[in-house]
Structure formats: C-alpha cells, structure tokens
C-alpha cells in the first residue's frame, strides 16, 4: 500500500514536471521563408523586439503609408533592439525574397520579409494573429487582383512572447506605444 502511494506521487510529480518543462505551442510563432532560410521562426529573432506587420508589396496605399509611419516613428525612438518583420499576404507575387526585402528596407533598414510556402500556412498564421484578409479580383486592371486586409501592428518581446496588438495607428499613440514597448 505504501509502495503504491509513493509510486503514485512519483508519477504525479513527473507529469507535473513535464508540463512545466515541455515548451508550450506559441500561436504567434511561424515557420516561414526568409533570407535566413526556408524555416525561419521566432527563435531566429531572439533578443530583438519585434514589430510584426502583415501586408504585401503591390499594395497601392495602406501598406506603404503604414510602413512609412512605422519608419518615421522608429527612427525617432532609435532603439537597436527594434526589428520589423513583414509577413506577406501575397506569397504569389512576393515570392522573390531579395526584391521583397529591397522594397521593405526602403522604409526601414532593420527589417526582414517573411513569406509563407502556401496559402494554407498563411491562413493559419493570419488567423492566429487575428489578421483578416481577402483576395479581390480586379477585372480590367493591370494588377489583376488586390488584397483587402486589416491594418494592425503586433509587438513581440525578446523571448518571442506576444505583447500587444496596436490598432490605433495615430502617430502620437503609435509613438507612445512603441516607445513603451522598446524601453529596456
């Protein structure tokens, strides 16, 4: 009887310990293509304070305006840990990492483009972040299609933990939120 009780306690301790030490699945993590490789994850950016933005390079207005605002704000704050991740909502046209990074770094040099391998992978990641997007066919247009999408910025700390979604992109509020996030 005593032996069974000790065995049960040991099993319980092992189970509880395994829950503590087994890494939890982070819904904000990803495995996307980048200049760093085919399976770039949040671990590749440990030690950086990540500003994550979903968009696409063919975006005629919202993405360039948001990236310009982010660039202006981050240049005012000047923190070496700030790093911008641009997750493409258009893996079909943004498939060339070099060109996508060139476009992105026009706005902010400390940045990397991330591109999903397929639409299913992108849909899952967008859902995890709460990003809403839809491909819109444009008849009689050279662009062929556009992508309507939500316009939030996501903040992830140096350990890869989600901190906050910024929905208010008013320049004063954005400055205040990013300055608070980037403080050491």
- Total tally of structural domains belonging to the chain: 1
Give a yes or no: residue 8 inside a domain. Answer: no
Give a yes or no: residue 20 inside a domain. Answer: no
Domain, as residue range, for 93: 26-182
Torsion of CA 108, 92, 36, 23, to 10 degrees: 100
pTM of the model: 0.84
What would the mean pLDDT of 73-90 be, rounded to a whole number?
A: 94
Helix ranges (DSSP H) in 60-118: 62-77, 97-107
| CATH number of the domain within which 172 lies | 3.40.30.10
84-141 per-position pLDDT tens digit:
999 999 999 999 999 999 999 999 999 999 999 999 999 999 999 999 999 999 888 8
What would the mean pLDDT of 32-42 be, rounded to a whole number?
A: 91
Give a yes or no: residue 34 inside a domain. Answer: yes
Closest to 131 in 3D by CA, of 151, 146, 147: 151
* Dist CA 158 CA 128 (whole Å): 19
- Give the pLDDT of residue 8: 53
- Give the pLDDT of residue 71: 95
41-55 per-position pLDDT tens digit:
999 999 999 999 999
> pLDDT averaged over the chain?
88
Give a yes or no: residue 15 inside a domain. Answer: no
Give a yes or no: residue 93 inside a domain. Answer: yes
Give a yes or no: residue 6 inside a domain. Answer: no
CB atoms < 10 A from the CB of 123, how many? Answer: 13
Give a yes or no: residue 12 inside a domain. Answer: no
Give a yes or no: residue 46 inside a domain. Answer: yes
* Dist CA 156 CA 73 (whole Å): 17
137-175 per-position pLDDT tens digit:
988 888 889 999 999 999 999 999 999 999 989 999 999
């Amino acid at each position: 009887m005593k032996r069974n009780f000790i065995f049960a306690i040991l099993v319980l301790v092992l189970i509880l310990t395994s829950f503590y030490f087994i890494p939890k699945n982070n819904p904000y993590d990803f495995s996307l293509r980048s200049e760093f490789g085919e399976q770039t994850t949040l671990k590749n950016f440990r030690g950086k304070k990540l500003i994550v933005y979903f968009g696409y390079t063919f975006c005629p207005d919202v993405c360039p305006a948001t990236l310009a605002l982010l660039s202006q704000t981050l240049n005012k704050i000047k923190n070496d840990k700030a790093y911008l991740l641009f997750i493409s909502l258009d893996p079909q046209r943004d498939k060339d990492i070099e060109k996508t990074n060139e476009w992105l770094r026009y706005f902010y040099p400390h940045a990397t483009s991330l591109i999903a391998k397929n639409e299913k992978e992108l849909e899952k990641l967008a859902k995890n972040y709460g990003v809403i997007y839809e491909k819109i066919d444009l008849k009689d247009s050279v662009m062929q299609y556009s992508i309507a999408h939500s316009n939030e910025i996501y903040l992830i700390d140096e350990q890869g933990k989600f901190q906050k979604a910024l929905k208010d992109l008013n320049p004063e509020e954005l400055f205040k939120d990013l300055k608070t996030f980037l403080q050491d």
